[in-house]
Structure 1
Amino acid sequence: MIKPYLMFNRECDEAFKWYQKAFDGEIIAIQKYGDMPPSPDFPIAESDKDLVLHIEMKITETGYILGSDYRQDLQDAGKVCISVELNSEESAIRAWSILSEDGNIHMDLQPTFFAKLHGSVKDKFGVTWMFTVS
């Protein structure tokens, strides 16, 4: 099983709430930096204790995404696209409309020769999603 791991600049919690709304997702696990046992080898600043150390969300019947806040600045590489294959046009349209808010549409969600609906959008967190409805 492959589970994409998304890294964020202090906005993982906000992003996963957004994804939970888009996909009616189920959070399987979440740990914050403040949940870690204190260690002099890995000190956690008070301002970082609410950051997400690890989160896992089920977004489709067999699809999961994982994430974390990286404690240093990340640049959006744009080399990874999460492909979501759905059976329901309604589910795709709902998720698409949420993720495209304040995002950048690469290809409108529309019928194609190979799918009932297909499209690609980069969300406001810099994550690119590709939707296909068979």
Structure 2
Amino acid sequence: MGAQLNSYLMSEDARSQAAFYVESLGGEILLLKTFGEAPGTPEAMKDKVMHLSLMVAEKNMLMISDSFEPVSSSRSISLALTYDNESEAREAYAKLGEGGENKYPFALQPWGAYYGEVIDKFGVTWMITKP
């Protein structure tokens, strides 16, 4: 018996956030369902994203939904991406940081790996590593 853990983000603009991740990390939106597809949805909510799944950085599933309340970021959870290639890691770090905040520069660390931390413009913390 086993399970798979996936990241599921609540967003104030799921479509824009997903497009940003596709642009920054490469990938594609696999599925997008709106609340309008459910019966009885009020007109004002019909265009909101109920569920969006996307594949990023070749093989990583990320899911996003529009939130009906303000979204606050938290340092208690980070998304960690580990790359085999240093230039790909640097590129992801730079693109994710556009419009956001570079918390920790991407550089060779004393433990022998490259590491950097960035908070993207949607408030999500990313830890980028290249062992």
Q: Superposition RMSD on alpha carbons, in Å? A: 1.6
Q: In the TM superposition, what whole-angstrom CA distance separates every residue of 1:75-105 from its partner, at most 9, and x where no partner exists?
A: 2233210001111222222221111111111
Q: Distance in 2 between matches of 1:81 and 1:124?
A: 14
Partner SS, residue 79 of structure 1: coil
8 Å Cα contact 1:106/1:122 also seen in 2: yes
Which residue is 1:120 aligned to?
Answer: 117
Q: TM-score, normalised by structure 1?
A: 0.85
**1:78 aligned residue (63, 72, 75):** 75
Q: 2:66, 2:112 → 1: CA distance?
A: 35
Percent of aligned pairs with the same residue? Answer: 27
| TM-score using structure 2 length | 0.87
Q: Which 5+ residue runs of structure 2 have no aligned equivalent?
A: none
Give the count of matched residue pairs: 128
Which runs of 5 or more residues in structure 1 are unaligned? none
Q: 2 CA distance for matches of 1:71 and 1:13?
A: 14
2:52·2:65 contact (CA, 8 Å) conserved in 1?
yes
CA contact (8 A) 2:14 2:64 kept: yes
1:30 maps to a residue whose letter is L
